[in-house]
């Protein structure tokens, strides 16, 4: 099977894994998925930290299942259109960051940088961990790296 395999967006698992269809954008689906993650983040950013972290944990655990199931259904490990991992990665990046367009833009750029470049250990783990967790782990680590930079900037500003 190839990347040309399309999901069934009437299947709620595929719909979520493909970021409500944002992962179907032919050029830069990961960036499109990250952009699509902004709208729910706007709501999430207005919640308490406890609620934010609870939602992030739940969506991450659900995401492992969504990514694994969709990947198996399509017969393509880490299909480029699977972008639920970008949703969770951006949301991790933006934990306890001011909800302004400047901080969002910086978080977006940092997250996409680490997700695309995949420095060690992101690249290594991406290759070593199979299934849904493997699909999610590189974006979660990219989000963690971006979050650490944002938190450092907030601390030292």
Task: Report pLDDT digits (tens) over 16-54.
Answer: 999 999 999 999 999 999 999 999 999 999 999 999 999
Residue-wise over 129-157: b if at least 16 C-beta within 10 A, else e?
eebbbbbbbbbbbbbbbbbebbeeeeeee
Q: Is residue 127 in some structural domain?
A: yes
Task: Report pLDDT digits (tens) over 71-116.
Answer: 999 999 889 999 999 999 999 999 999 999 999 999 999 999 999 9
Q: Is residue 136 in some structural domain?
A: yes
Global pTM value: 0.95
Please state the domain count of the chain.
1
Q: State the Cα–Cα distance between residues 20 and 26, nearest whole angstrom.
A: 15
Q: Is residue 31 in some structural domain?
A: yes
Q: Is residue 50 in some structural domain?
A: yes
Q: Is residue 108 in some structural domain?
A: yes
pLDDT of residue 3: 64
pLDDT of residue 73: 96
pLDDT of residue 157: 84
Q: Is residue 134 in some structural domain?
A: yes
**68: domain range?**
12-156
């Amino acid at each position: 099977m190839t990347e040309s395999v399309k999901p069934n967006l009437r299947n709620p698992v595929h719909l979520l894994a493909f970021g409500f269809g944002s992962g179907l954008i032919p050029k830069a689906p990961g960036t499109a998925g990250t952009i699509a993650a902004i709208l729910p983040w706007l709501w999430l950013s207005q919640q308490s930290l406890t609620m934010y972290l609870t939602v992030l944990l739940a969506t991450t655990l659900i995401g492992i299942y969504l990514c694994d199931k969709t990947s198996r259904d399509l017969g393509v490990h880490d299909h480029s259109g699977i972008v639920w991992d970008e949703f969770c990665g951006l949301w991790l990046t933006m934990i306890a960051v001011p909800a302004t367009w400047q901080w969002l833009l910086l978080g977006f750029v940092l997250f996409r940088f680490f997700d695309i470049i995949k420095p060690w250990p992101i690249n290594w783990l991406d290759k070593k961990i199979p299934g849904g967790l493997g699909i999610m782990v590189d974006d979660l680590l990219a989000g963690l790296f971006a979050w650490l930079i944002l938190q450092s900037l907030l601390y030292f500003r």
